[in-house]
Amino acid sequence: MSQEKVRYIIDYFLDVLPADERLSIFYIMSQLKNNNEFLPFVTVKDILIKRGFIASGQELRDLHKEGITAFEEKVAAYVLKKYADKVYINNCPKCHQLARTPLAHQCKHCGYDWH
């Protein structure tokens, strides 16, 4: 999946996730972005393991090695797989590139306008 599509899903469709998943993801992303000591709450770890983002506590610590980009790719893939019916990928009808937002009606790549 392209980094552009990952960013699009993270920016516009994390609200389809249940509140506990969304908060866990925001917590992990803030820790990864800030390079803080990674000491997650037990409930956060349990939620991430239960939802299949990680398999163990060691994998949770290994997220620092993979970085924020790899974690965001996992989250975007999960959202696309589990909530495909709620995710709208807005592609340009002319060049088929990803639009800037789900509600956009003008392509940022070719300039085509489909208002």
Backbone angles phi, psi at 72, to 5 degrees: -65, -35
pLDDT at res. 92: 95
pLDDT at 100: 93
Taking the model in full, what pTM does it have?
0.72
Instruction: Check residue 84 and give its pLDDT.
Output: 93
Q: For residues 108 and 90, is the Cβ–Cβ distance under 8 A? A: no
Cα distances (Å, whole numbers) of residue 19 to 28, 55, 61, 67, 89: 14, 21, 23, 23, 22
Q: List, for residues 16-45, the tens digit of each pLDDT value.
A: 988 777 877 777 777 776 665 555 555 666
Residue pair 13/25 in contact (Cβ under 8 Å)? The answer is no
Which residues, given as ranges, of the chain have pLDDT below 50? none
